[in-house]
Amino acid sequence: MELCKITGLRGKVTVPGDKSISHRSIMFGSIADGTTEVHNFLKGADCLATIRCFRTLGIDIGENDSTVTIHGKGLHGLAAPSDILDVGNSGTTTRLLSGILAGQTFDSKLSGDESLNSRPMKRIIDPLTQMGAHISSILRNGCAPLYITPGRLHGIHYTSPVASAQVKSCVLLAGLYAEGETSVTEPSLSRNHTELMLKEFGADVHTFHALDSTKSTAVIQPCPQLCGQKITVPGDISSAAYFIAAGLIVPDSEILIENVGINQTRAGILKVCEDMGGDITLLNERFEGGEKVADILVKTSALHGITIEGDIIPTLIDEIPIIAVMAAVAEGTTIIKDAAELKVKETDRIETVTDNLKAMGCNASPTADGMIITGGQLKGASIHTLLDHRIAMAFSIAALVAEGNTKILNSKCVDVSYPTFYDTFEQLL
Ligand code: S3P
């Protein structure tokens, strides 16, 4: 994909359904009794991998445009897979599905692409093993492929070293199959879609926050039954983030992004935009299916650098590549700290972001847990996405304010979370 400098992005867009919520709708629908109907499901490669895995586990899942119908078979209705479960590029599929598979009475193997198979799985192997699960890394390197055999699970009180919704959700899902209560305490609250949606399906799950620290604990009881639901997936704030940034940094722009999920555990990007001086307004705020939703209006703004650190990081972890792009054109310096988790995403995003920003002439330096970026004029470059969807989309927006042409290499990788990204973009030209 080749892109160049433009002005005047104007119009109204919607973004596809939330990736995290779409994954969970398939998983919980499959282990619920009855039918689950999901509207505005994200048909990105990651969520399609989740559908593929549950079909291999014997679940009948129908697809019609962006509506998906899951014929759930109950907590104990999954069938032994005839093949290895192919999780593609998806960390969410791998970690959440492992929690469910740990509670089954059959053997299973999960494997993904090269990037997925190099991401850390010890973070789920450890707590699942403490619960009595039999799960191992086949190559003994702490990564997928994973091999899971039946184990008798008991509840644990797990203190996670990282604020990770994938780890938390994995343990809570295994908790559905365990004897006794299971809880997960995390250093600060990560996205809570599992807790919200499991409650809608009828699980006994609740969350409490420590009064004297940022720690948060989710508690689940073993569950006799989940009940199929009707779910409408809100637009993904992580996808909206590219158009929020475009509206703020491309001169003479005004963009309305309709129907975006603004769950507080995901909405750190909105605060950062405001703190950087962005003109951003939430309209028509409402609740749909337990999730907060709004329309987001953005207008071109003069941004300035800020420091981003602490508890807000888990609420914007996937948006750091596009925040870095905003920082690269903002006045002054932006410091991002406490974000070492970026190293274990689809790529090492501290490296991929700073390398590509430097290629565009930006003064950007990696640090052990983040990056330091001083804003200025960007110039066109060849962007090495390393097949990371969020790098492709973030740098497509950077291209719009750079002098000269920018080439996004392997831009097709946007299919992972936003197959129609470039089509949405054209609606604003
Ligand atoms: C996700 C959790 C986050 C996020 C990922 C989706 C989820 O990962 O980066 O894109 O759906 O639970 P971690 O749990 O590893 O932080």
> Is 85 in a helix, a strand, or coil?
strand
The protein residue whose alpha carbon is closest to atom 9 in ligand 1 is 318
What distance in Å separates the CA atoms of residue 47 and residue 88, rounded to the nearest whole number? 10
Q: Helices in 293-369 by DSSP H: which ranges?
A: 320-329, 349-359
Q: Do 349 and 263 fall into the same domain?
A: yes
191 in the same domain as 54: yes
The residue from 318, 338, 355, 415 that is catalytic is 318
79 plus 136 within the same structural domain? yes
Domain that holds residue 243: 2-16+234-425
Q: Are residue 86 and residue 172 in the same domain, yes or no?
A: yes
Q: Is the CB of 27 under 6 A from ligand 1?
A: no
| Residue that terminates a domain, selected from 232, 255, 281 | 232
Determine if ligand 1 sits within 6 Å of the CB of residue 165: yes
Tokens of 421: 């990204």
User: What are the tens digits of pLDDT across the range 15-67?
Assistant: 999 999 999 999 999 999 999 999 999 999 999 999 999 999 999 999 999 99
- CA dist 364 → 110, 256, 275, 360, 374 (Å): 37, 31, 20, 10, 6
**Residues 244, 222 share a domain:** no
Same domain, 274 and 215: no
What is the chain's Cα-based Rg? Answer: 21
Q: How far is the CA of 7 from the centre of ligand 1 (A)?
A: 34
User: Are 313 and 172 in a shared domain?
Assistant: no
> Is the same domain home to 200 and 271?
no
pTM, 2 dp:
0.97
pLDDT of amino acid 290: 80
Indicate if 150 and 63 belong to the same structural domain: yes
CATH value at residue 360: 3.65.10.10
The tens digit of pLDDT for each residue in 147-176 reads 999 999 999 999 999 999 999 999 999 999
Asked if residue 414 and residue 278 are part of one domain, the reply reads yes
Q: Establish whether residue 166 lines the binding site of ligand 1, counting it when its CB lies within 6 angstroms of any ligand atom.
A: yes
Question: Is 318 designated active site?
Answer: yes
Token readout for 214 is 């940022």
Domain boundary among 180, 209, 232: 232
| Cβ of 21 less than 6 Å from ligand 1 | no
User: Counting atoms of ligand 1 from 1, which one is nearest the CA of 168?
Assistant: 14
Kindly state whether residues 247 and 214 are assigned to the same domain.
no
Nearest-atom index, ligand 1, CA of 166 = 14
Give the chain's domain count: 2
Is the beta carbon of 318 within 6 A of some atom in ligand 1? yes
**Per-residue pLDDT tens over the stretch 329-371:** 999 999 999 999 999 999 999 999 999 999 999 999 999 999 9
Q: Do residues 390 and 299 share a domain? A: yes
Does ligand 1 lie within 6 Å of residue 394's CB atom? Answer: no
According to the model, what pLDDT value does residue 120 have?
Answer: 98
Nearest to 302 by CA among 354, 244, 250, 379: 250
Q: Which of 205, 232, 259 is the last residue of a domain?
A: 232
- Compute the distance from residue 190 Cα to the ligand 1 centre, in Å: 8
